[in-house]
């Protein structure tokens, strides 16, 4: 990971206020990094901070999956996802898939303000970081029971 991190910011509706407050509190630290967000969250971030945000689709319209694809392509270094643990979402499978892909590709994930605070205040935020990546070749060439090749 380069010193300038590519940070994905996502928040469910009931958590958007918390994320916006967190971003405002950490405005200076975040100004050093690139921000990608799902649609509504990105719009609110731009309105609140006046800074440009790369906006994808809203989460239920594929934004979670777009962020997951960017993680798999090595285009996201950190995921801050304030998800609502008390309300089921119609796109819960997408949320689970996003969190899963972030773990597979070994990027830091914060799902609440306390963890986000720890990550943003880490000395690693300002320096290069070499994360361990999954062994794709071994996975792609693994034997498949009953497979033809």
Looking at the annotation, which residues are catalytic? 64
Candidates 101, 39, 41, 37; CA nearest to 74 is: 101
Task: Dig out the tokens for 149 from the structure.
Answer: 């090749």
**What is d(CA 32, CA 91) in angstroms, rounded to the nearest whole number?**
32
DSSP 8: E
Query: Which is it for the CA torsion 124, 65, 60, 86, positive or negative?
Result: negative
**What is d(CA 86, CA 94) in angstroms, rounded to the nearest whole number?**
17
**What is d(CA 78, CA 80) in angstroms, rounded to the nearest whole number?**
7
């Amino acid at each position: 990971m380069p010193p300038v991190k590519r940070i994905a910011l996502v928040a469910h509706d009931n958590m958007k206020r918390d994320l916006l407050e967190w971003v405002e509190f950490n405005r200076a630290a975040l100004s050093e990094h690139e921000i990608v967000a799902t649609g509504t969250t990105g719009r609110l971030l731009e309105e609140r901070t006046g800074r440009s945000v790369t906006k994808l689709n809203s989460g239920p319209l594929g934004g979670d999956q777009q962020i997951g694809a960017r993680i798999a392509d090595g285009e996201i270094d950190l995921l801050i996802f304030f998800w609502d643990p008390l309300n089921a979402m119609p796109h819960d499978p997408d949320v689970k898939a996003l969190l899963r892909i972030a773990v597979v590709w070994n990027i830091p994930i914060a799902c609440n303000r306390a963890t986000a605070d720890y990550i943003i205040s880490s000395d690693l935020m300002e320096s290069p970081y070499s994360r361990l990546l999954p062994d794709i070749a071994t996975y792609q060439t693994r034997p498949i029971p009953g497979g033809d090749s």
